[in-house]
Amino acid sequence: MKLIDIKEIIRKDSPIHYINEYHGNIIYTVKGITLSSPIEIILEMTAFGTTNIQVHLNSETPQELRENKNLLIDFVNEKYKDGYFKE
- Do the domain assignments include residue 48? yes
Q: The domain containing residue 21 runs over which residues? A: 2-81
| 81 phi/psi in degrees, rounded to 5 | -60, -30
- Do the domain assignments include residue 36? yes
10-14 mean pLDDT? 87
- Do the domain assignments include residue 87? no
Residue 36: exposure state from Cβ atoms within 10 A (0-12, 13-18, ≥19) = middle
How many angstroms separate the CA atoms of 40 and 19, rounded? 13
Q: How many domains does the chain have?
A: 1
**Per-residue pLDDT reduced to its tens digit, 17-68:** 889 999 999 999 988 999 999 999 999 999 898 999 999 998 888 888 889 9
- pTM of whole model > 0.75? yes
Residue 78: exposure state from Cβ atoms within 10 A (0-12, 13-18, ≥19) = exposed
Contact (CB, 8 A) for 34 and 4:
yes
pLDDT at 76 (0 to 100) = 95
